Chain A
Amino acid sequence: DADVTQTPRNRITKTGKRIMLECSQTKGHDRMYWYRQDPGLGLRLIYYSFDVKDINKGEISDGYSVSRQAQAKFSLSLESAIPNQTALYFCATSERDILAGGRPREQFFGPGTRLTVL
Chain B
Amino acid sequence: TQLLEQSPQFLSIQEGENLTVYCNSSSVFSSLQWYRQEPGEGPVLLVTVVTGGEVKKLKRLTFQFGDARKDSSLHITAAQPGDTGLYLCAGRVFRGSTLGRLYFGRGTQLTVWP
The residue in chain B whose Cβ has the minimal distance to the Cβ of A106 is B45
B102 within 8 A of A: yes
Interface flags for A95-110 (1: CB within 8 Å of B; 0: not) read: 0010011111011111
From residue 7 to 40 of chain A, which have CB atoms closer than 8 A to chain B?
35, 40
A104 touches B99 (CB 8 A): no
Which residues of A sit under 8 angstroms from B6, Cβ to Cβ? 42
Which residues of B sit under 8 angstroms from A104, Cβ to Cβ? 31, 33, 48, 92, 100, 102
Interface of B is mostly: loop
A-B contact pairs, 15 of them (CB 8 A): A35-B104, A40-B9, A42-B107, A58-B101, A100-B100, A101-B94, A101-B100, A103-B50, A104-B33, A107-B45, A107-B102, A108-B42, A109-B41, A112-B40, A112-B42
Interface bin, chain B: 20 to 34
A43 touches B104 (CB 8 A): yes
Tally A residues with Cβ within 8 Å of B.
27
The residue in chain B whose Cβ has the minimal distance to the Cβ of A38 is B106
A74 within 8 A of B: no
CA gap between A112 and B44 in the complex, in Å: 13
Known: A43-B88, A90-B42, A101-B94. A50 touches B102 (CB 8 A): no
Which residues of B sit under 8 angstroms from A102, Cβ to Cβ? 50
A92 within 8 A of B: yes
A73 within 8 A of B: no
